[in-house]
Amino acid sequence: MKFINVGNVKIEQTAALAPMASVADKSYRLMCKGFGASYLVSEMISSKGLCFGDKKTSRLCEIESEERPYALQLFGEDPYYMGKAAYMLNKYSPDIIDINMGCPVPKIVGNGSGSALMRLPDTAAEICRETVKNADCPVTVKFRAGWDEENINAVEFAKLMEQCGAAAVACHGRTRTQYYSGKADWDIIRRVKQAVSVPVFGNGDVVDGKSAKEMYDYTGCDLVMIGRGSYGRPWVFRDIKHYLETGEEPAPVTVEEKMTVMKRHCELICHYKGEKQGMKEARKNCAWYVKGLKGSARLRAACGGLNTLDDLYKMIDTVLQAERT
């Protein structure tokens, strides 16, 4: 298997887990890592929240050794606080600091952060420079194709980030106004790759080994990132590696295997967050795991009523009994 280098960080050229706020928490990341995700990124860390001592923000900075190579992802609209936050992150020893300039969520964009920065290139450039100046590790920037179809500026944006010291860039082939709808534009990822000399990560519409290979071949990107394609399918990283190595589709995951993975994932969530809070957050994951199973509409509805691990175990027994009949 091939590797790429982001600064001094070596990453296997298979598939990385894209950053996803409120989804890719520690338990989610560790599940994906266990199945071969080559690189992980934290949930979004507020630069001002960190600078002002918010405890919840500080907890997002904690790193497990199993997560490496691992990036802490900062967001914010103020270059001063982004630089100060980058300096504060050094004590956690991240392998990489990633700057979020792609989040489309209104409350992030409304504060001038996330993908709003694609309309403010001067501010984005200053943020990148301040972060690079204060970080003890390579800095990367994740952004989108552009704000909307009339403002596709990913190529110019990528070149600007490279000039400001970014060690790699990640491009999601959708505009901010698209959110996660429609089809990702792989042409823009290819054009970004052709325009810069630093590594380029491609994100959008990769769901299996075949689509990962197609993105590599079509865009020339250095690393494929998977977000929603991993929902309820952390084994997708193992499947992609298998396909890239052999050119063959792996055997489908059985219902028994799905339930085993779902159980392990929910137990891990409860380990980190306690059973009460953990099971609340596990509900959406369970709904993804049971998608496509026999009686999946009923099962997904039942996921909303999971309150304890015992509830989960009973659901798993029900699924397995239905599968055997």
Q: Is the peptide bond before 19 cis (omega within 30 degrees of 0)?
A: no
Q: Bridge-partner residues for 200, per DSSP?
A: 169
Same domain, 220 and 267: no
Whether the pLDDT of residue 1 is over 90: the answer is: no
Is 171 designated active site? no
Whether the pLDDT of residue 21 is over 90: the answer is: no
Supply 201's token pair: 């990560």
- pTM of structure: 0.95
Q: How far apart are the first and last CA of the chain?
A: 42
**CB-based burial label for 53 (10 Å; 0-12, 13-18, 19+):** exposed
Contacts of residue 52, Cβ cutoff 8 Å, sequence gap at least 6: none
> pLDDT digits over 276-311, tens only?
999 999 999 999 999 999 889 999 999 999 999 999
Same domain, 42 and 97: yes
Same domain, 288 and 151: no
**Does residue 322 or residue 108 have the better pLDDT?**
108
- Residue where one domain finishes, among candidates 217, 246, 275: 246
Same domain, 90 and 179: yes
Cα distances from 11 to residues 39, 106, 159, 201, 303, in angstroms, run 7, 32, 22, 12, 36
Rg of the chain, C-alpha, whole Å? 20
pLDDT (0 to 100) of residue 322: 85
Q: What is the DSSP letter of 19?
A: P
> By residue range, what is the domain housing residue 284?
255-324
Contact 21/41 with Cβ under 8 angstroms? no
Q: ∠ CA 160-164-165 to the nearest 5 degrees?
A: 120
- Residue where one domain finishes, among candidates 197, 214, 246: 246
Q: The domain spanning residue 19 has which CATH number?
A: 3.20.20.70
Residues 103, 164, 270, 303: which is the catalytic one? 103
What mean pLDDT, rounded, does the chain reach?
Answer: 96
Q: The domain spanning residue 307 has which CATH number?
A: 1.10.1200.80
Same domain, 262 and 229: no
Same domain, 275 and 163: no
Same domain, 102 and 190: yes
Same domain, 143 and 261: no
- Residue where one domain finishes, among candidates 246, 272, 304: 246
Helices 296-303/275-289 angle, 10° precision: 160
